[in-house]
């Protein structure tokens, strides 16, 4: 307890430390920055000046400007993308993508896809890339097809998401993307993200042998939270990272500012290494559980963190007041 004969400075420091720990940026670092700088992989990253990066190739409408790479302009029926041309030999990785989706009007489409897939540079109908893909797709889907009148009658069984919506899909090359239902039952998880017309937005896609986590920082201010986490996803090494986007009757500018890739720095790695190569694994997702949407356990944890933080701030404020009030008399 606080007494006037203890040195106030000690308490001030303690409270300052507790206060610091309660700030969201600390949690943001916990979620997003647990990669060492040494784990940065330049050959899978994309930074300005883009023209100097030989590790990426563009297709379709994709255009380089000094400030960003525009996958599609805000015009109808465009498709564009960029693909990393270096095979990914990491078993675990984190890809941090900073982007901006913006345009005229209030109904827009279709969105941006992040890919970790076998084939690269193949234009097609899934956010600008080929259907029947092999690998992982994380779709930032800005238009809700399943709520449009043409498909409304078929969508009763499908829970409505608020769009823009991030969805996670794994395909072994055999499945057609369920475009009319925005992935429908193929979605392994996801969350709503109000990404349009922000200065920038970021997501972090992390794969750590079986566990896929998508984090979001919708306002690009370093405040991250978990969008979705899905266990039981098997992906091989040897695939490629890519980004693509498409517009249809509705459009948007789909701009990428940078992509920063880190090798996951987990202790499990050594254990898995002795089981040999992950080359040649067929992409799969365990389907023995219902899709995990935004909310659930993580929301509970977040609420606890927020309540904890509020408590600490209150205690901190009270403590400082108490310390000030109990300063030794006569000073």
> CB of 223: closest distance to ligand NAG in angstroms?
13
> CB of 165: closest distance to Ca ion in angstroms?
8
φ, ψ of residue 188 to 5 degrees: the values are: -95, -15
Instruction: Kindly tell me which of 130 and 206 has the beta carbon lying closer to ligand NAG.
Output: 130
Instruction: Kindly tell me which of 53 and 167 has the beta carbon lying closer to Ca ion.
Output: 167
Alpha-carbon distance 163 to 147, whole Å? 10
Among 107, 152, 282, 304, binds ligand NAG (CB under 6 A): 282
277 binds, among ligand NAG, Ca ion, none (CB under 5 to 8 A by kind): none
Q: Which residue has the tokens 């829970």?
A: 159
143 binds, among ligand NAG, Ca ion, none (CB under 5 to 8 A by kind): Ca ion
Instruction: Kindly tell me which of 160 and 199 has the beta carbon lying closer to ligand NAG.
Output: 199
Alpha-carbon distance 108 to 228, whole Å? 24
| 174 scored as a contact of ligand NAG (CB under 6 A) | yes
CA 105 to chain centre: 26
174 binds, among ligand NAG, Ca ion, none (CB under 5 to 8 A by kind): ligand NAG
| Token pair for 247 | 């517009």
Alpha-carbon distance 97 to 151, whole Å? 32
> CB of 298: closest distance to ligand NAG in angstroms?
25
145 binds, among ligand NAG, Ca ion, none (CB under 5 to 8 A by kind): Ca ion
φ, ψ of residue 145 to 5 degrees: the values are: -65, -35
Rounded to 10 deg, the angle between the 8-22 and 24-32 helix axes is 50
Nearby residues of 9 by Cβ (< 8 Å), 6 or more positions away: none
Instruction: Kindly tell me which of 198 and 272 has the beta carbon lying closer to ligand NAG.
Output: 198
Pairing of strands 292-293, 189-192: parallel
Among 25, 199, 277, 299, binds ligand NAG (CB under 6 A): 199
Give, as ranges, the residues between 134 and 173 that touch ligand NAG (CB under 6 A). Answer: 172
Which DSSP symbol is given to 185? G
CA-to-CA separations, 65 to 35, 70, 162, 252, 326, in angstroms, rounded? 29, 8, 32, 17, 61
| Token pair for 131 | 């259907």
182 binds, among ligand NAG, Ca ion, none (CB under 5 to 8 A by kind): Ca ion
Burial of 315 (0-12, 13-18, 19+ CB in 10 A): middle
Instruction: Kindly tell me which of 54 and 280 has the beta carbon lying closer to ligand NAG.
Output: 280
Among 55, 86, 87, 198, binds ligand NAG (CB under 6 A): 198
Give the number of residues in contact with ligand NAG, rule: CB under 6 A: 6
List of residues contacting Ca ion (CB under 5 A): 141, 143, 145, 182
> CB of 4: closest distance to ligand NAG in angstroms?
47
Which of left, alpha, beta for 220 (phi over 0: left; psi -120 to 50: alpha)?
left
Q: Which residue has the tokens 């880190």?
A: 262
20 binds, among ligand NAG, Ca ion, none (CB under 5 to 8 A by kind): none
Give, as ranges, the residues between 66 and 125 that touch ligand NAG (CB under 6 A). Answer: none
74 binds, among Ca ion, ligand NAG, none (CB under 5 to 8 A by kind): none
Binding site for ligand NAG (CB under 6 A): 172, 174-175, 198-199, 282
């Amino acid at each position: 307890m606080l007494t006037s004969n203890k040195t106030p400075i000690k308490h001030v420091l303690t409270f300052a430390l507790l206060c610091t720990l309660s700030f969201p940026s600390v949690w943001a670092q916990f979620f997003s920055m647990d990669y060492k700088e040494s784990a940065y992989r330049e050959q899978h990253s994309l930074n300005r000046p883009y023209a100097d990066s030989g590790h990426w190739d563009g297709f379709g409408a994709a255009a380089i400007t000094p400030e960003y790479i525009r996958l599609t302009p805000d015009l109808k029926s465009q498709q564009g993308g960029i693909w990393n041309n270096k095979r990914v030999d990491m078993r675990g990785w984190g890809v941090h993508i900073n982007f901006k989706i913006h345009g005229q009007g209030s109904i827009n489409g279709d969105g941006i896809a992040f890919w970790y897939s076998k084939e690269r540079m193949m234009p097609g109908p899934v956010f600008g890339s080929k259907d029947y893909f092999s690998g992982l797709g994380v779709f930032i889907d800005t238009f809700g097809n399943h709520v449009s009148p043409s498909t409304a009658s078929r969508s009763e069984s499908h829970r409505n998401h608020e769009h823009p919506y991030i969805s996670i899909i794994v395909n072994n090359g055999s499945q057609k993307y369920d475009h009319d239902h925005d992935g429908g039952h193929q979605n392994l998880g996801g969350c709503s993200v109000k990404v349009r017309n922000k200065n920038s937005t970021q997501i972090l896609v992390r794969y750590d042998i079986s566990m896929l986590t998508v984090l979001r920082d919708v306002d690009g201010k370093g405040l991250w939270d978990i969008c979705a986490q899905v266990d039981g996803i098997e992906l091989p090494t040897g695939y490629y990272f890519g980004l693509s986007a498409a517009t249809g009757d509705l459009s948007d500018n789909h701009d990428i500012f940078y992509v920063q890739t880190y090798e996951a720095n987990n202790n499990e790695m050594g254990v898995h290494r002795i089981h040999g190569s992950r080359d040649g694994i067929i992409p799969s997702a365990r389907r023995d559980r219902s899709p995990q949407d935004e909310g659930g356990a993580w929301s509970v944890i977040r609420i606890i963190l927020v309540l904890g933080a509020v408590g600490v701030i209150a205690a901190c404020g009270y403590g400082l007041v108490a310390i000030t009030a109990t300063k030794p008399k006569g000073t």
